[in-house]
């Protein structure tokens, strides 16, 4: 087994006094897709947000434990969170393109980082949109507003926006659950196609999606990581009754 790209140790997150994540430890291998599953309120989004320090934006959030990326704890005061979010990008449940052109959405992160050369930007746009499997649909309307796209197209533009900053890790919080089945299928295929280049953490409610595209799966319940295993093993022979009940649809 190769070395972990990301190691979460003894991570707890509180919203005021409420503990939403309870001493979770797990590690992620490079270029694997890890599915994070569990019922509503189990702490899946809280974990993703902790991994790129989104809690910093909320004074009610307290985080303890560590998240080591590239040999360095991202909770160290020396971490530059702008740099961090370039390396660890995030895609949300609701497609959230900025109210600007498709082109400007994709180059947003590059412009923030001071890239001005038009040729560099043009190439980055084409490459990111290609990788997000939406280039052919938008190449003739790059300067139209991203808001005019369908939800599924908007979500692929959001994936392209993240890819343009050349992340190593992509956090995906239910990226297909707000989409119709055809758009959801396209995003899922796109993610699967990105597997050889990126490490992905995918929160999903779809057991089918988890079993189709993930290598590993973690099952959360009430802030605890109950079980973490190879996806095939988890779905064929879950080790805990709660996991079995959840994946067979007895609750959730
Ligand atoms: N901003 C917040 N302020 C207070 N409590 C919060 C906040 N965000 C989440 N929580 C609480 O933390 C717990 C974990 O929430 P989280 O959003 O991580 O769950 P989840 O597994 O992503 O659920 P869902 O499947 O519904 O998205 C829940 O009890 C939730 O109510
Ligand atoms: Mg959530």
DSSP 95-124: ----SSBHHHHHHHHHHHTT---HHHHHHH
Task: Looking at the CA of residue 42, tell me the nearest atom of ligand 1.
Answer: 21
Ligand 1 in reach of 40 Cβ (< 6 A): yes
> Could you tell me which of 7, 213, 203 has the C-alpha nearest to residue 91?
203
Asked whether residue 252 is assigned to any structural domain, the reply reads no
Q: Is 75 in the pocket of ligand 1 (CB under 6 A)?
A: no
Position 1 scores a pLDDT of 57
Q: Is 44 in the pocket of ligand 1 (CB under 6 A)?
A: yes
In a domain, 142, yes or no: yes
The 10 Å CB-count burial string (b at 16+, else e) for 187-225 is bbebbeebeeebbbbbbbbbbebbbebbbbbbbbbebbb
Residue 77 within any structural domain of the chain: yes
106 in a structural domain: yes
- In whole angstroms, what is the distance from residue 159 CA to residue 197 CA? 14
Q: How many domains does the chain have?
A: 1
All residues with CB under 5 Å from ion ligand 2: 45
Q: Convert the pLDDT of each residue in 62-84 to its tens digit.
A: 999 999 998 999 999 999 999 99
* Segments forming the whole domain that contains residue 89: 6-247
In tens, the pLDDT along 132-181 reads 999 999 999 999 999 999 999 999 999 999 999 999 999 999 999 999 99
Q: What is the CATH number of the domain that holds 32?
A: 3.40.50.300
Q: Is residue 58 part of a domain?
A: yes
User: Mean pLDDT, 10 residues at a time, over the chain (252 residues)?
Assistant: 90 98 98 98 98 94 97 94 94 95 97 94 97 96 97 96 97 95 94 96 97 98 98 97 95 78
**Which letter does DSSP use for residue 251 in this model?**
-
Q: Strand order in 199-203's β-sheet?
A: 88-91, 169-173, 199-203, 33-37, 216-221, 224-230
Nearest alpha carbon, ligand 1 atom 30: 41
Predicted pLDDT at 115: 94
Residue 137 CA from chain centroid, whole number:
24
Q: What was the pLDDT predicted at 252?
A: 74
- Residue 1 domain flag: no
Which residue, 131, 129, 246, 104, is CA-closest to 189? Answer: 131
**The predicted structure's pLDDT at residue 214:** 98
**155 vs 164: CA distance, rounded Å:** 14
Closest CA to 224 of 16, 3, 25: 25
Residue from 14, 21, 42, 56 to probe ligand 1 pocket by mutation (most atoms less than 8 Å from CB): 42
Max Cα-Cα span within the chain: 56
């Amino acid at each position: 087994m190769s070395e972990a790209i990301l190691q979460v140790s003894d991570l707890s997150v509180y919203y005021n006094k409420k503990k939403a994540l309870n001493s979770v430890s797990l590690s992620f291998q490079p270029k694997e897709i890890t599915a994070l599953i569990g019922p509503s309120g189990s702490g899946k989004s809280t974990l993703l947000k902790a991994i790129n320090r989104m809690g910093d934006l909320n004074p009610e959030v307290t985080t303890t434990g560590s998240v080591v990326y590239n040999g360095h704890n991202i909770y160290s005061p020396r971490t530059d969170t702008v740099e961090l979010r370039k390396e660890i990008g995030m895609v949300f449940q609701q497609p959230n393109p900025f109210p600007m052109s498709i082109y400007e959405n994709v180059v947003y992160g590059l412009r923030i980082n001071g890239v001005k050369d038009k040729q560099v930007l043009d190439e980055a746009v084409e490459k990111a949109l290609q990788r997000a499997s939406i280039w052919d649909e938008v190449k003739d309307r790059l300067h139209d507003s991203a808001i005019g796209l369908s939800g599924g197209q908007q979500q692929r533009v959001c994936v392209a926006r993240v890819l343009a900053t050349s992340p190593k890790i992509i956090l995906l919080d239910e990226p297909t659950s707000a989409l119709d089945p055809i758009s959801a299928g396209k995003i899922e295929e796109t993610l699967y196609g990105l597997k050889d280049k990126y490490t992905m953490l995918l929160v999903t409610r779809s057991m089918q999606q988890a079993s189709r595209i993930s290598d590993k799966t973690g099952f959360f319940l009430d802030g605890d990581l109950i079980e973490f295993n190879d996806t095939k093993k988890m779905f064929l022979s879950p080790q805990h009754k709660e996991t079995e009940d959840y994946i067979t649809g007895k609750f959730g």
